[in-house]
């Protein structure tokens, strides 16, 4: 007769957990133990590079030899992550003798504890045991993960209950380059929890369609070279709503700090005593080239890349960019917000020695259904972009990486 396991959540902070084995299974198990705050002792003659990195960073203690029974002294739990049944049985016997629960990767029937299939949603952890069948457990776990994401609610996220009239909080959330699925899991979770959302023009519209009923949506669109809401007004809205007790998400295209003025918003909140959480986003400076089949770095082609703003012309006294120095770099140059000034930018780079035949590309509305790509050279890209009718938002890439993957036939 089968016996059901007793479900239990172990609070392992500061407690010794022994992991025997340094291969793929241990590589999977150790991060969760470290996340739980366990004092991990890893016993194995050899380690995978990932485990070695944990050891080198002193996140765990590594004993580079085979297991001996005394390794379990003071332990609360042991994970056997070896595929040698004889060696695993030796660890099991030592654990039983010391009344220490033992997880065995090689034989779950010989173990005294099972590791469940786990999914996490903020502070909520769901652990599934499949009656000893790991495939069943993972299938159920995946279904529950989908359900949690579809049924997002404040109880599933970080607590935001705040005293009435007291200070709320602000989250600066990067929405990514345009595809709504490229927002981070944490960013999406906080968005579903918000009382107020202050959104830029470049955030994916489908994300706004998923907001809870009753959320106040503030359009903070900042259309290039056209009407805009002053940054000071955006700062004021963030502070006022938060001081009124609301949880405010400032949703920004790309990453909050990559030419997103997130630093100014954080400083304004800090000056008013409003706590701020920053959730990084996938920046278009890397995502747009990647979506077009252009790696910003590539072995033997480019070992560096530089990201600059092109919204101020190189010949303007307001420009803080050293275009003459950029012309002499051998790596990749990525230009954001530079479409209007592309003719003068390319002319400046050419005047300072960047070869006219340097590969160049422009990617419009990357990762969305409106994505378009113009591939050219530095000497011709401004004219080619105008002829193609490309419009903002667009990212310009200059460097040999533009053609680095051509032999693979991938063109974005």
**Where do we find the tokens 């004219």?**
383
Spatial separation of the C-alpha atoms in residues 292 and 405, rounded to whole Å: 10
Our answer to whether residue 340 is catalytic in this structure is no
Do 263 and 185 contact (CB within 8 A), yes or no? no
Q: Which of 71, 106, 179, 200 is catalytic?
A: 200
Which residues, in sequence order, are CB contacts of 24 under 8 Å at separation 6+? 48
Q: Residues 365-387, buried b or exposed e (16+ Cβ, 10 A)?
A: bbbeeebbbbbbbbbebbebbee
| Spatial distance between the Cα atoms of 99 and 62, rounded to a whole number of angstroms | 23
For residue 361, list its beta bridge partners: 375, 397
Please say if 222 is a catalytic residue. yes
Pairing type for strands 332-336 and 359-364 reads unpaired
Determine phi and psi for 153, rounding to 5 degrees: -155, 160
Quickly list DSSP for 129-196: --TT-HHHHHHHHHHHHHHHHHT--GGGSS-----TTS--EEEEEE-BSS-GGGS-HHHHHHHHH-SE
* Cβ atoms of 306 and 326 closer than 8 Å: yes
Q: Measured between alpha carbons, how far is 113 from 5 in angstroms, rounded to an integer?
A: 8
Residue of 222, 240, 340, 384 marked catalytic: 222
The whole-angstrom separation of Cα 280 and Cα 267 is: 17
Catalytic residues: 200, 222
């Amino acid at each position: 007769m089968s016996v059901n396991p007793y479900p239990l959540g172990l609070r392992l902070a500061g407690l010794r957990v022994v992991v025997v084995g340094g291969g793929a299974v241990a590589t999977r198990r150790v991060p969760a133990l470290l996340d739980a705050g366990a004092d991990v002792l890893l016993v194995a003659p050899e380690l995978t590079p990932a485990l070695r990195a944990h050891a080198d960073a002193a996140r765990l203690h590594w004993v580079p030899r085979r297991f001996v029974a005394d390794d379990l002294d003071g332990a609360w739990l042991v994970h056997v992550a070896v595929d040698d049944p004889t060696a695993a049985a030796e660890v099991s016997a030592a654990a039983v003798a010391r009344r220490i629960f033992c997880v065995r990767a090689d034989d779950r029937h010989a173990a005294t504890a099972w590791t469940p299939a786990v999914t996490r949603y903020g502070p909520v952890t769901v652990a599934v045991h499949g009656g000893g069948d790991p495939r069943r457990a993972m299938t159920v776990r995946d279904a529950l993960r989908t359900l949690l994401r579809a049924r997002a609610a404040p109880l599933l996220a970080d607590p935001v209950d705040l005293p009435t009239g007291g200070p709320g909080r602000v989250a600066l959330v990067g929405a990514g380059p345009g595809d709504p699925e490229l927002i981070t899991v944490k960013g999406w979770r906080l968005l579903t929890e918000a009382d107020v959302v202050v959104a830029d023009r470049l955030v994916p519209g489908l994300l706004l369609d998923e907001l809870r009923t009753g959320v106040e949506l503030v359009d903070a669109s900042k259309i290039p070279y056209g009407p805009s809401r002053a940054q000071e007004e955006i700062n004021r809205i963030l502070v006022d709503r938060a001081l009124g007790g609301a949880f405010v998400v400032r949703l920004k295209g790309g990453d909050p700090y990559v030419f997103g003025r997130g630093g100014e918003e954080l400083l304004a909140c800090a000056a008013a005593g409003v706590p701020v959480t920053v959730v990084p986003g996938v920046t278009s400076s890397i995502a747009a080239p990647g979506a077009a089949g252009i790696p910003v770095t590539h072995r033997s082609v480019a070992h560096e890349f530089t990201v600059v703003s092109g919204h101020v012309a190189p010949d303007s006294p307001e420009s803080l960019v050293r275009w003459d120095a950029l012309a002499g770099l051998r790596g990749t140059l990525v230009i954001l917000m530079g479409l209007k000034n592309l003719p003068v930018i390319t002319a400046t780079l050419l005047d300072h020695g960047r070869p006219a035949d340097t590969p160049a590309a422009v990617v419009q509305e990357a990762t969305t259904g409106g994505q378009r790509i113009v591939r050219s050279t530095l000497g011709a890209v401004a004219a080619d972009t105008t002829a193609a009718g490309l419009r903002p938002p667009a990212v310009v890439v200059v460097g040999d990486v533009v053609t680095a993957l051509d032999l693979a036939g991938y063109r974005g």
